[in-house]
Structure 1
């Protein structure tokens, strides 16, 4: 979705628009636990099959996806994509439609003095091979100069951001349930060393606001961070914002070595896992600007595969180290945040991106 929307947005507005769209992430992270807490359904259907609140919640969560599919199906293909595959007439037709929607039914491209369009960094002749071979040969430029360096820098940064925001985010709830059941006031790692082996009394399937309040706080924090990002984008460049967010998350990781109070631990946890979510969107927008249109979709897809691998790696790392080597767990994330920040700073500046786009 980010790739598609970026094709309709000019370079200077692209980070802001993509960040506005990301508000939906925070809203959904508030909406889902709130609905889960409100729904109270327990209808016996047949034999042992019961239509419970969980089943209704899953069905309700399908509705936004179905609605998004219908809306996206009705939207036109990107004009930049048509240009990249040498379909100039189709690109003009889409631009004509956009012109009428934005300027009025009586306005046409011709009336604005536009008779043809093009864009820099167009690809050469299409490769005539089967779909699997074509996929490989069309993706191969990402592994070659001039794109390989920027592609791998952003992919590794996304690997870290996904791991911290989603991998650690899942484990946050488990750790919180443990420390809330223990009356001692000690740092997390001391509690894990003493009580990490005990079985957790997890909340029942009948959820209430008390059971999901941490998830709601998480969603509120994410929404607030995206709104803050919108204001920061008015005066600070993307790379600087990403670096600030990653540095903030790293400092929060250090704080987990010492935090004792339950409320403080929750705030520090959220400060560790929320900034990577917001900086993740900005990092992907950097990749979009660094890669030409005909490679952009593949680059973002491959980059997100790196991100999913980061979630898996992060979850396994936490699972193997949290109980016996807890300090390694959180300080490992601190080092990962610093490394990701350095990689982001190694990417080209936005002025250089503008020069590349004009070539």
Structure 2
């Protein structure tokens, strides 16, 4: 990389970490929360909607995966557009439309209409799901990038805490048990209001984003020197109290000269253009690192999101089981034989399905708190430990906890083995995304991250489906197979230049 291309980091280091970075972290962190709410939150909303929408178990599984399916279908399109039109430009539009689709979905009265609206919500949630971190990264120099991204992803923990907390308020307390007839067969019940509350962080982030400029790196990359200098001046004034110095302006002009993308004649075929624009990622010097990242993302998504979607349902099933739970492994608690009296969900299946009450939210809150603690710990450890060592250690711990779930019988230990099995890969997904942003140039960042996270979402879909099909009949074998994946990820990461 030439000196010209290092000029941005020099100026950003002179400006220093300040109010702009804090504001940008909170704004984009709220967008991360919105993404988690609209995908993982369906693991709580969809079961509560079974009775109203007359869904069977297959349809229920489809609804929980609808958001991921929408993200997968649209991710690369948004990655292509964000590298053409701008980060803030995409965020404002996708946030607005996804919030509209989300609120409309909470008024649907049939499975088909609910699925379509959740799928459409996923299509537009795909924008902030990866553009937010790309946008934030372009306000940071390399010295602070990894720690700033880690702190932003800590909002994943806040989302994992917010979701069960709100669910406890709306689904597990009698004070909010209501049913309001609207029209026809449509009634407004607690789960609909809960789903509407999940979009609140996105609404707040939209208005916060209005006060921010476009990414300065994107502006310089596209040759917009005037707006790029205005964005950097905005950052400098709010962080230091004064505008850019003449020396800093000169550095940024040099950076712009080196970073401006050479404009090529666009093909009249949009698909061909999108394909060609991604090809540099699969050539030297990026190809080995990038393919390795995608393989790791797939395996980690399978655990963190695929198994994570089943977390609340599994813990809820265990908590609903009465009788003596001592000396029973996790799988025995889930599917072991017991008397009718010992099983609190002994009512007919439709009665249980229509019951808005849950008993697993406290365990979900534990998962959210664990995420926050782990992100905070990673933020501190990145000062002292190489990133690769941190990744590999986290994945080895995750795999160990996964294997332990097969035979551990102590209830608290069971809970934390499950929590760490899911949470460590989830944290590594976030940190690996930050590493990827450091590795690829500005003009490829949007596409690179969206493709990588698309593989992560594919992992979630495969994991959710695989667990749903096999866990009841082959519980121990299923967990044993999933526990191998963190070790595979660690093996791949050991060869990557992290």
TM-score scaled by structure 1?
Answer: 0.87
Q: Deviations over 1:198-247 (max 9, x none)?
A: 99935865446x44111111111111111111221121122111111111
Retained in 2: the 8 A contact 1:36–1:57? yes
Residue of 210, 222, 238 corresponding to 1:85: 222
Retained in 2: the 8 A contact 1:82–1:90? yes
The match for 1:114 is 250
Retained in 1: the 8 A contact 2:303–2:482? yes
SS of the residue aligned with 1:266?
A: helix
Gaps of 5+ in 2: 1-131, 171-175, 346-351
**Counterpart-to-counterpart distance in 1, 2:259 and 2:388:** 24
**Counterpart-to-counterpart distance in 2, 1:172 and 1:200:** 19
Retained in 1: the 8 A contact 2:330–2:405? yes
Where do residues 228-243 of structure 1 align in structure 2 (5 Å cutoff)? Answer: 228-243=377-392
Q: Deviations over 1:95-130 (max 9, x none)?
A: 12222222224x333265635241767643334223
Note if 1:177 corresponds to 2:316: yes
Residue of 187, 190, 195 corresponding to 2:329: 187
The match for 2:297 is 158
Name which of structure 1's ranges 114-123 and 129-138 shifts more when overlaid on structure 2: 114-123
**Counterpart-to-counterpart distance in 2, 1:96 and 1:192:** 58
Higher helix share: 2
**Counterpart-to-counterpart distance in 1, 2:364 and 2:463:** 20
The match for 1:146 is 285
Change in Cα spacing, 1:327 to 1:10, as seen in structure 2 (3 Å) is same
Gaps of 5+ in 1: 350-359
Where do residues 1-359 of structure 1 align in structure 2 (5 Å cutoff)? Answer: 1-39=132-170, 40-46=176-182, 48-105=185-242, 107-110=243-246, 112=248, 114=250, 116-118=253-255, 123-130=261-268, 131-180=270-319, 181=321, 183-184=324-325, 185-191=327-333, 194-195=336-337, 201=345, 202=352, 205-207=355-357, 210-349=359-498
**Counterpart-to-counterpart distance in 2, 1:73 and 1:133:** 34
**Counterpart-to-counterpart distance in 2, 1:256 and 1:189:** 8
Q: Deviations over 1:65-114 (max 9, x none)?
A: 12212323442221212222233333222112222222224x33326563
**Counterpart-to-counterpart distance in 2, 1:291 and 1:122:** 15
Name which of structure 1's ranges 255-264 and 281-290 shifts more when overlaid on structure 2: 255-264
Retained in 1: the 8 A contact 2:142–2:438? yes
Name which of structure 1's ranges 218-227 and 186-195 shifts more when overlaid on structure 2: 186-195
Q: Deviations over 1:231-277 (max 9, x none)?
A: 21121122111111111100001101211122221111001001111
Cα deviation for residue 158 of structure 1 reads 1.2
**Counterpart-to-counterpart distance in 2, 1:113 and 1:62:** 40
Aligned-pair Cα RMSD in Å: 2.5
SS of the residue aligned with 1:346?
A: coil
Change in Cα spacing, 1:347 to 1:123, as seen in structure 2 (3 Å) is farther
Retained in 1: the 8 A contact 2:297–2:456? yes
Size of the alignment, in residue pairs? 346
**Counterpart-to-counterpart distance in 2, 1:31 and 1:60:** 10
SS of the residue aligned with 2:187?
A: strand
**Counterpart-to-counterpart distance in 2, 1:206 and 1:312:** 25
